[in-house]
Amino acid sequence: MKELRIHGRGGQGSVTAAELIATAAFESGMYAQAFPAFGVERRGAPVQAFVRFSKDKIRLRSQVYEPDYIIVQDSTLIGDVNVFSGMKEWGIAIINTERRIESEVPEGVRLMTLDATRIALDVLGVPITNTALLGAFAAATDVIHLEALERALRHRFSGEMAEKNVKAANLAYNEVRGGTV
Amino acid sequence: MTQIMEGSHAVAEAVRLSKPGVISAYPITPQTHIVERLAEMVADGLLEADYITVESEFSALSACLGASATGVRVYSATTSQGLALMFEVCFNAAGMRLPLVMTIANRALSAPLSIWNDHQDSISLRDSGWLQLYAQDCQEAHDLHYIAYRVAEDHSVLLPAMVCFDGFVLTHTYEPVDIPGQEEVDAFLPAFSPYQRLDARDPISFGMYATPDYYMEFRYEMERAMQRAKGVLKECGKEFGERFGRDYSDLVESYRLEDADTALVAMGSLCGTVKDAIDEMRGEGKKVGLLNLRVFRPFPFEDVKKALSGVSRVAILDKNVSIGSKGAVGLEMRDTLYGTGIEILDCIAGLGGRDIRKRDVRRIVGLAEAGGGDIFYGLREEVL
């Protein structure tokens, strides 16, 4: 079983991202479970959402404390929240930032950064970064395939909104595949 | 067909396929997604039901009670403060022998305000005459609604039923759920056939006055119906298993209890985490198992006693507390196991959404083995 923890701020679509990844994993033939951290969410406040993936049925219901992967939608969270808490050795951290943040990342974490806000603004016209980060997640891990993610996006959104989100995911996917993790 | 969906939507699908004629509910976190989805289904023509919007939970359940008395299948859903506001109507529905089905998205009770999960809300209605079923995952939350309708409406039972599933922990979790087709559901759950109903051409009354000469007999009849419900639950659970491949013929689920020394006892979504913890401990040679109380009312005394006949000790995870006494499950277990010599540790745990991890389950097994007394598990040290 693999576990993902998504850190974001209220309004950035962290819960939707968790549901989309679980849907994509399910469509790829895996069992998946997605759920939010049940906090007092307000727009802009730190929020978390979780995803578990496994080939077998998942029974565990506690929150994710030792993730294999984290996605951080907003790098300004790093000072406020210990986003790296409990990460497994050589776990992958996918962080949305335009800055160089290597010095803020603990040893033993494989860091992958991208400017998902730029992609979101270019493609969607709003700084909602979740779908771009999902593309990055697909590229950086073997957990979900890009095609399954595209199907999940088209299932969730319709018409032009679906295609724009698919494009954002693809741009992020290619940017990560072009770089190194 | 198996699809991935939110637990609340899995419940809404079960309600749609159960074809209630009247739905009345008042939205409250974390039940909201169920009734929002049902309102959409009615508006979109996917479900032919009267959706009665009301100003409170008291009115919601009252509308369901009245509608049920006219002979239609009804549905409501609530949680926590909403269920507290329904208190009076709950006792009325049971006393009038009306087979309402209501989902409880389990949540703690105020004060202090908590929107998070525990079982205090439904447990506080344990004496109301409603059946209480507890789901451990979203699939069970879906399936148990069909069984609840079948058993509640059975003419040998005629008592309302609560299907309890954990707020947020299940209501807001996406996971795969198998949704059967309408024809399959219709074959298992035929249209509601009322034993008696309000009809202006043939007037009768429900819930009238009972003097001291008769009141006790009404209560005794309810108790007898509740005892008969055990057999009906088993039969319907077995038939459900034959039709859908998921068996609910046992009122309790035994997990690795065969040769267990220590049995954990839990209800609802916590059972999944406990099973994972048990597998880890079994891997280390510890003989532990789980008793999952799927049915809390009627309380399955005989089934519990049989399932635990080989254990030396029991550790209960009670997500509720009767302030001034013990946890509700702990009390039932002490009654059931009286005279067997089995040691009992009652842990009040996970109140108000406090997360329970595998390591907590292991610690509680350790406490039971050490022979300590009943506790509130995992308190902050500053209050001790």
Fold of B252-383: Rossmann fold (3.40.50)
Please answer yes or no on whether A35 and B172 come within 8 Å at the CB atom: yes
- Dihedral, A66, A69, A73, A76 alpha carbons, nearest 10: 60
Contact B250, B294 (CB under 8 A): yes
Note the pLDDT tens digit of each residue in B11-48. 999 999 999 999 999 999 999 999 999 999 999 999 99
pLDDT at A41: 66
3-state helix, strand, coil in chain B (%, to 5): 40, 20, 40
Q: Which of B116, B174, B360, B362 has the most A C-beta neighbours within 10 Å, making it the best mutation to test the interface with A?
A: B174
Would an 8 Å CB–CB cutoff place B169 in contact with chain A? Answer: yes
What SS3 class is residue B350? coil
Q: How far apart are CA B333 and CA B327, in angstroms?
A: 10
| One fold for B2-244 and B252-383 | yes
Q: How far apart are CA A64 and CA B240, in angstroms?
A: 34
CB within 8 Å of chain B, chain A residues 56-85: 58-63, 65
Measured between CB atoms, which of B116, B174, B270 is closest to A61?
B270
Alpha helices, H only, chain B: 7-18, 32-43, 57-69, 80-85, 87-95, 120-123, 138-153, 182-188, 215-244, 270-283, 301-307, 328-336, 358-370
Contact A120, A135 (CB under 8 A): no
ipTM: 0.94
The full length of chain A comes to 181
Would an 8 Å CB–CB cutoff place A37 in contact with chain B? Answer: no
Sheet containing B22-25, strands listed edge to edge, beginning at the edge strand earlier in sequence: B50-53, B22-25, B74-78, B101-106, B161-166, B131-134, B295-297
pLDDT at A38: 72
Chain centroid to CA B96: 21
Alpha helices, H only, chain A: 14-27, 77-80, 116-123, 130-140, 146-156, 159-178
Q: How far apart are CA B101 and CA B90, in angstroms?
A: 11
Smallest CA-to-CA distance from B106 within B81, B73, B129 is with B81
The dihedral built from the CA positions of residue A134, A135, A137 and A138, taken in this order, carries a sign that is positive
pLDDT at B364: 98
Would an 8 Å CB–CB cutoff place A1 in contact with chain B? Answer: no
pLDDT at B383: 87
The dotted CATH code for B2-244 is 3.40.50.970
CB within 8 Å of chain A, chain B residues 211-250: none
Between the CA of residue B170 and those of A71, A96, A158, B84, what are the distances in Å? Answer: 23, 30, 27, 21
Residue type, B288: V
For residue B191, give both structure tokens. 């249209």
What SS3 class is residue B3? strand
Residue type, A27: E
Q: Which of B2, B4, B5 has the most A C-beta neighbours within 10 Å, making it the best mutation to test the interface with A?
A: B4
How are beta strands A91-96 and A69-72 bridged, if at all?
A: parallel
Instruction: Write the CATH number for A109.
Output: 3.40.920.10
Strand partners, B288: B262
What's chain A's Rg over C-alpha atoms? 15
Domain range list for chain B: 2-244, 252-383
What's the gap in Å between the CA of B168 and the closest CA on chain A? 7
Question: What single DSSP character describes residue B157?
Answer: T
Q: How far apart are CA B76 and CA B68, in angstroms?
A: 11
Contact B226, B159 (CB under 8 A): yes
Smallest CA-to-CA distance from B104 within B184, B204, B189, B25 is with B25
How are beta strands B174-178 and B262-266 bridged, if at all?
A: unpaired
Question: What is chain B's pLDDT, residue by residue, as a tens digit (384 residues)?
Answer: 999 999 999 999 999 999 999 999 999 999 999 999 999 999 999 999 999 999 999 999 999 999 999 999 999 999 999 999 999 999 999 999 999 999 999 999 999 999 999 999 999 999 999 999 999 999 999 999 999 999 999 999 999 999 999 999 999 999 999 999 999 999 999 999 999 999 999 999 999 899 999 999 999 999 999 999 999 999 999 999 999 999 999 999 999 999 999 999 999 999 999 999 999 999 999 999 999 999 999 999 999 999 999 999 999 999 999 999 999 999 999 999 999 999 999 999 999 999 999 999 999 999 999 998 899 999 999 988
Q: Which of B8, B32, B136, B173 has the most A C-beta neighbours within 10 Å, making it the best mutation to test the interface with A?
A: B173
Question: What is chain A's pLDDT, residue by residue, as a tens digit (181 residues)?
Answer: 999 999 999 888 999 999 999 999 999 899 999 999 977 667 888 999 999 999 999 999 999 999 999 999 999 999 889 999 999 999 999 999 999 998 889 999 999 999 999 999 999 999 999 999 999 999 999 889 999 999 999 999 999 999 999 999 999 999 988 764 4
Question: What single DSSP character describes residue B372?
Answer: P
What's the gap in Å between the CA of A160 and the closest CA on chain B? 23
pLDDT at A181: 47
Please give the biggest Cα pair distance in chain A: 43
**Three-class DSSP labels, B224-291:** HHHHHHHHHHHHHHHHHHHHHCCCCCCCEEEECCCCCCEEEEECCCHHHHHHHHHHHHHHCCCCEEEE
Domain hosting residue A44, numbered range: 2-177
Chain centroid to CA B49: 24
Contact B297, B122 (CB under 8 A): no
CB within 8 Å of chain B, chain A residues 152-181: none
pLDDT at B345: 98
- Domains contained in chain A, number: 1
Nearest chain B alpha carbon to A65: B357
Please answer yes or no on whether A62 and B175 come within 8 Å at the CB atom: no
- Provide DSSP, A108-142: TEEEEEE-HHHHHHHHTSS---HHHHHHHHHHH-S
What is the pTM for the complete model shown?
0.97
Measured between CB atoms, which of A22, A61, A65 is closest to B4?
A22
For residue B383, give both structure tokens. 């209050």
Between the CA of residue B202 and those of A170, B208, B362, what are the distances in Å? Answer: 68, 17, 61
Strand partners, B132: B162, B297
What's the gap in Å between the CA of A45 and the closest CA on chain B? 18
